[in-house]
Chains A and B, each alone.
Chain A
Amino acid sequence: MSAIRAERVSARRGRGVVVRGNDIDTDQIIPARYMTSIRFAGLEEFVFRDVRFNADGEPKGHPFDDRRFRGASILVVNQNFGCGSSREHAPQALQRWGIQALVAESFAEIFFGNCVALGILAVTAARDDVARLMDAIELDPGQEVTIDLDKQVVAWRGGSAPVKMPDGARKQLLDGSWDAMRTLLEARDATLVRIASLPYATGF
């Protein structure tokens, strides 16, 4: 993992991949048994492992193994995607597999925060719009999908829909301050002053 990079993220374009279903939790995205490494490198190999392969390692026909979706960078999902544990391994695994943006009906909160921290563009859209986008991608996986964060819209061949992202996160991506560490360190001195004002940090 390289050091601080603060790219401005205002739009993503690429081919889409559809993974249907509500409440897809982080244990499905990356099973805990693949978290025993002290590095994130190589996680992409195990993304969605248990829903992609059966116990004998035979592919079960998951979209991530579907040739039509090969090279996709925009993942389209339904409700409450990324619920469950706070493991950042989940967005890390997706990002390392090639996902740069997600469109969902809704995200679990920690998962969403982890996406922002990695510069992954994660937006929500209305249920009907997500359904239209999913159908369009499945019908024509080769087409280009564009998410414009500035205009807050997702566009595909023959369609478009409004998308949303909470203001704070949106601003962070747009102005490149999503890598929080650099921003937070600007107030290093104020932080130390604040700690010294806390009774519990100074023994009451």
Chain B
Amino acid sequence: MGRSLLDKVWDLHSVRELPGGQTQLLIGLHLIHEVTSPQGFQMLEDAGLSVLCPERTFATVDHIVPTDLRRRPLRDAQAEEMLQAIEHNTKRHGIQFFPIGSGDQGIVHVIGPELGLTQPGQTIACGDSHTSTHGAFGAIAFGIGTSQVRDVLASQCLALARPKVRRIRVSGKLGFGVYAKDVILHIIRRLGVNGGVGYAYEYAGPVIDRFSMEERMTLCNMSIEGGARVGYVNPDDTTFAYLKGRRFAPKGDAFERAVAWWRGIASDADAEFDDEVEIAGGEISPTVTWGTNPGQAIGVAEKLPRVEELPDGDRSSAEEAYRFMGLVPGRPLAGTPIQVAFIGSCTNGRISDLREAARVARGGKVAAGVRALVVPGSEAVRVEAEREGLHEVFTSAGFEWREAGCSMCLAMNPDKLVGRELCASSSNRNFKGRQGSPTGRTLLMSPAMVAAAALAGRVADVREVMK
């Protein structure tokens, strides 16, 4: 019987079985950022330990960096303290750091792939739940808590239970105006926000095979919103072509040897899975969340579900979500006025996302009363977008063009919703208070849909706009 990629990578990195059935798993790449690492370093130093593998550890700043004025010291004293802490810690422990203005800074899940650090067959950990993004390369990548950041710093290992694997095949073809973001929102809607607990998701099938690396990253990124800590796509020629020539990717003959090894870690054709799900690509439409968890979503042309149509277990949270969102069951979501539009995040802040959004924004005007923000995922994305003139498309349409960072994805920097503002957002979470105002409201959708909403001033079907 064949083996899945998860099994192969797991076995390659298993140092030993721990009493209690967990595996001591070696972490091949440890990415750190300013918010979840300082306490980890502190605990490490309290225990009198140093970093075991500084050469397998890389750092950047993303969560708290302002996206307008990045002059030091930062206006926010606590943010400045965090920046200084990561500068100090990386220097002291000999860890490579990609700071603001280096040209390499950006959201940790954007720069890892960009720099060629993320590679097939690796185990990757980072103190951020969207680490699953890196699974797009056929890596086993997952988010960890701060104590675990400390564990990896000290031992380069984690104690983990091997997850089961569910293969999700997306068959057929996607319709016009349907993006990777819609695919993952659709999957979460179908399988539920808890459907993936205890599982790694292997995404496969013709739609995924045709996806670019950036689309695969969007897909794997939100595995965690479906409850799966790990999501991955088997590496293929698309993966290798993306990696070729990147700074930390192998060069010359080593690259050829790497490709041979990478091919070998993909799931075998006769691999068996703990569960298999088939999704028809043609049935997916541009999808928008209406509630306060990412599974509360509908196709943009659908009407908001009536509470009594929902499964028993979902009704009370739906009622609560309707109250919070101020939306009415049975009505269409399309046409709902928005006040803020946010394009960015590790889900959809890459160059292809900005190109799609710009395609919609080109020649248009952001509706009166709408505040619209475009925040590139990294300094490199920003440079490329400016080279292509996308920033002018956005600014002349009335969008603000910002510096790289997490920004309004979680609003730990100055970019925040105000009061009950409703935000069309290309990010990944619509939890209450996520975008910086306790009563602020979020509608998750693809970047093209966000651009369409910004111009219309209300939730709009991007298929109509792009016609």
Contact = CB atoms under 8 A, between A and B. Distances in A.
Interface of A: 1-4, 21-23, 25, 27-28, 31-33, 35-40, 50, 55, 79-80, 83-89, 91-92, 106, 108-110, 113-114, 117-118, 166-172, 175, 177, 180-181, 183-185, 187-188, 190-192, 194-195, 198-201, 203-204
A201 B291 CA distance: 44
17 contacts: A33-B436, A38-B81, A38-B85, A39-B38, A84-B431, A86-B128, A87-B36, A88-B146, A180-B151, A180-B158, A181-B155, A183-B24, A192-B52, A194-B13, A199-B257, A201-B28, A203-B254
Interface of B: 12-13, 15-16, 18-22, 24, 26, 28, 35-36, 38-39, 42-43, 46-49, 52-53, 56, 64, 76, 78-79, 81-82, 85, 119, 121-122, 127-129, 143-148, 150-151, 154-159, 161, 193-194, 197-198, 227, 229, 250, 254-255, 257-258, 261, 293, 313, 316-317, 320, 410-412, 429, 431-434, 436, 438-439
Contacts of B20: 167-172, 177
A203 B261 CA distance: 12
Given A23-B317, A86-B128, A86-B145, A168 B22 contact: yes
A200 B78 contact: no
B191 to A, nearest CB: 14
Contacts of A188: 52, 155
A27 B432 contact: yes
Given A3-B48, A36-B78, A79-B194, 9 more contacts: A3-B47, A36-B412, A39-B38, A80-B194, A86-B145, A87-B146, A114-B147, A170-B20, A199-B261
Contacts of A55: 438-439
A84 to B, nearest CB: 6
A30 to B, nearest CB: 10
The residue in B53, B81, B431 that gathers the most chain A C-beta atoms within 10 A of its C-beta is B431
B198 A109 contact: yes
Nearest to B84: A38
Contact of A109 (B229, B293, B412): B229
Given A109-B229, A167-B20, A50 B432 contact: yes
Contact of A185 (B42, B154, B229): B154
Contacts of A172: 20, 159
A27 B42 contact: no
Given A22-B317, A50-B438, A181 B150 contact: yes
A184 B154 contact: yes
Given A80-B194, A181-B150, A204-B261, A109 B227 contact: yes
B433 A199 contact: no
A200 B316 contact: no
B372 to A, nearest CB: 22
Given A32-B411, A184-B154, A86 B144 contact: yes
Contacts of A117: 145, 147-148
B440 to A, nearest CB: 11
Contacts of B439: 55
Contacts of B434: 27, 32
A200 B18 CA distance: 25
Nearest to B253: A204
A114 B157 contact: no
A156 B68 CA distance: 55
Nearest to B255: A204
A25 to B, nearest CB: 5
Nearest to A193: B15
A60 to B, nearest CB: 11
A28 B154 contact: no
Contact of A32 (B85, B159, B410): B410
B432 A200 contact: no
B145 A200 contact: no
B12 A198 contact: yes
A109 B142 CA distance: 12
A80 B194 CA distance: 8
A185 B16 CA distance: 12
Contacts of B431: 25, 27-28, 84
Given A27-B431, A36-B76, A110-B143, A4 B47 contact: yes
B56 A195 contact: yes
Nearest to B39: A40
Contacts of A86: 36, 127-129, 143-145
